[in-house]
Amino acid sequence: MARFKLAWKCIIIAAFSLLLTTGFVPASAQEVAAVPYISPFSDAVINNLRVIYSVGQAYGNRGGVFSKVGDSITVNLNFMHPFGWGIYDLAIYSYLQPAIDHFNWTITDADGGTSFTHESFAAGVGWATWGVLEPELADLEAGCITGEKPLECEYRIMRPAFALIMLGTNDVSYRAPADVRYDLERILRLSLEWG
């Protein structure tokens, strides 16, 4: 549970840091921008993130869209969906509201959904790290192309500027760490190629 909480804190910090460092803070959040912010990332990391973001923008990726990549935790309706539905209470973390607003302003689905409520093509119940790279798991009925990896399908259709990747819980019981690392590195390389 402690790892889960730490992962969430890192995800929230990373998302908010990226929004601040790329200059994509909504105008309504100017008071947040006035508060001194100390990034947990080095200048080199921030500059690299800016380059990756710029490459993605050149590819047509949308700054108000993120993709969810993962397993059953990722597809669970309790994960991220409440932010899209407006059913949440940030309590002492209210300073994160501009980040939520930012991703709720871009419609991603025909039904009016946003990144928070989008049913990812790169996430599935029981998926291990290799699942997002397996063309046989791509949802052809939803618009994926034959031979396309689920991750590629998600990125092609959604055109996200950001990706939230949560994998590994289904790997630990039966896969060697080196194999999981290999697949995670492939996922990261593919993600970087898409900007």
Q: Is 106 within 8 Å of 120 (Cβ atoms)?
A: no
pLDDT tens digits, 117-161 = 999 999 999 999 999 999 999 999 999 999 999 999 999 999 999
pTM of the shown model: 0.79
Reported as a pLDDT band with limits 50, 70 and 90, residue 110 is confident
Closest CA to 106 of 153, 161, 29, 68: 161
State which residues form the domain around 23.
2-193
pLDDT tens digits, 17-26 = 444 444 554 4
Task: State the DSSP string of 144-190.
Answer: PPTT--HHHHHHHHH-EEEEEEE--TTTTTTS-HHHHHHHHHHHHHH
Number of domains in the chain: 1
pLDDT score of 31: 58
**What percent of the chain is modeled with pLDDT above 90?**
71
SS3 99: helix
Q: Is 121 within 8 Å of 13 (Cβ atoms)?
A: no
Q: Is 103 within 8 Å of 18 (Cβ atoms)?
A: no
Question: Does the pLDDT value for residue 184 go beyond 50?
Answer: yes
For residue 23, give the H/E element and its range. none
Q: Is 83 within 8 Å of 100 (Cβ atoms)?
A: yes
